Structure 1
Amino acid sequence: MATRKVCKHRFGSATASLAAAGAVLLFAAQQRKCESLSAQLRACTSLIERAQRQGALDRQHRLHLDLLYKAMDDPALAAVLDTYEEELGPELRRQYLFANALYINALHSHRVGYISLVELHGHLRVMCQNKFFRGYWEATRPHRASLPDVSQEAQSGRMVDELIRELDDAETEEWWVVGELPVI
């Protein structure tokens, strides 16, 4: 009978050891699953936050354009936005407001990922062909002076300044090939 007790004890210990090992493996598998779910949750949260930021940018852009359109339609409201150093007539002020709307629209399109940096460069190169846009750009130079150098708007402004310099210095009439493409 002593032999039977030893065997039962050995099988009992082995069973307990197998059960403990199984529990450890199950715990490890559950922990990996939890870590995977946590990573998926962080990714989803990041996507939601990006979508919310883009939605906020879109709403702000729409509001900005609505305000510009109101100012273009009403000279009394346009006077509120007249912060230029020189006196502008109502027609030129309206043209500058429209130039601002075009510029901000291109910049916004890049910010939210609708167009690449290279495409933004192309849009800005086209705008720089227009004498009214160039007048607006020069008149608003003091407005850009306080932008942080690392901001997208400051970087875009430097791109416009460089495009204007390159277009003025170009030895070709083929303006659409002027300017170094930005490095992506």
Structure 2
Amino acid sequence: MRNLGVVLTAGAACVLFSLIMTMVPGLRTPGSGNAGQAYGAAASSTAVLVLFYMARTLRLQRDETSLQREELELQRAEMRLQRAELELQRDEMRRSAGELHRSAEADLRHLHMDLLKMSIGDPELAEVWPAFAPELTPKENRQYLYANLIYCHSMLAHKLEMLDDREALGHLRYIVRSPAFRGYWESARSMRAEMDPASHERRFAALVDEALTQSNAQAPYAPNLRLIEGQHNEP
């Protein structure tokens, strides 16, 4: 750019001097005419050089602009890659957090199952748990506790995606054939009413209800008349 400025200044000076030599009346002599022609030729040559340098400068600027655009595109591509990498990292963190949550929930439910097992094996511990229904015999209450254990196990397998909906429904259709499980399920209706409608437990409970509906459609269900009539005898 500095050389171009010098060339432009020199060219402008030559052109101006040529105009003075050829257009001022007092300087119009044969010698001045020759000088004007010489300076005119010099001015023309200078103009050619100026045009050459201008064209060269424009080309360099165009190349520089093209390089800047390519650099910007590379920077944008790098930013897109960085965003994609950050998104992958966020997904991995979400998956890890989900796995930790499921693992903690599985451990908690295993503890709940262990507590139920202890109450089933020890009548004194079973008395700590409230009865599922009024006037249940100790035997029936243990059966309901065991039915709750089966239900929790099935629900955990479904939540951990060891069973999909179709497989869980087939498993539940087999379980709900048991009169003891049906009695447990009916006695726990009030507890299910308090579930969060958006929770997995409520969704799994809906699968149990669907299994009951399908089972009832396949074969009539004979209710436990002894429980309905209140005939509760100790085993």
**TM-score bin, normalised by smaller chain:** 0.7 to 0.9
* Unaligned runs of at least 5 residues, structure 2: 1-6, 8-45, 222-235
In structure 1, the residue matched to 2:153 is: 105
Inter-partner Cα distance in structure 2 for 1:15 and 1:160: 72
Deviation at 1:102, TM superposition (A): 0.5
- Cα RMSD of the aligned pairs, angstroms, is 2.6
Inter-partner Cα distance in structure 1 for 2:129 and 2:62: 84
Structure 2 matches for 1:115-134, cutoff 5 A?
115-134=163-182
Inter-partner Cα distance in structure 2 for 1:112 and 1:126: 21
In structure 1, the residue matched to 2:183 is: 135
Q: Structure 1 residues 44, 150: CA separation in 2 closer, same or farther (over 3 Å shift)? A: closer
1:48 aligns with one of 82, 96, 106: 96
* Unaligned runs of at least 5 residues, structure 1: 174-184
In structure 2, the residue matched to 1:71 is: 119
Deviation at 1:97, TM superposition (A): 1.1
The normalised TM-score by structure 1 is 0.79
Structure 2 matches for 1:18-97, cutoff 5 A?
18-97=66-145
Identity %: 26
Inter-partner Cα distance in structure 1 for 2:66 and 2:210: 73
Inter-partner Cα distance in structure 2 for 1:30 and 1:17: 20
The normalised TM-score by structure 2 is 0.63
Deviation at 1:117, TM superposition (A): 0.7
Q: 1:125–1:163: 8 Å Cα contact kept in structure 2? A: yes
Tell me the matched-pair count: 173
In structure 2, the residue matched to 1:179 is: none
Larger mean Cα displacement after TM superposition, 39-48 or 106-115: 39-48
The structure number with the bigger radius of gyration is 2
AA of the residue aligned to 2:82: C
In structure 2, the residue matched to 1:178 is: none
Larger mean Cα displacement after TM superposition, 2-11 or 44-53: 2-11
AA of the residue aligned to 1:18: S
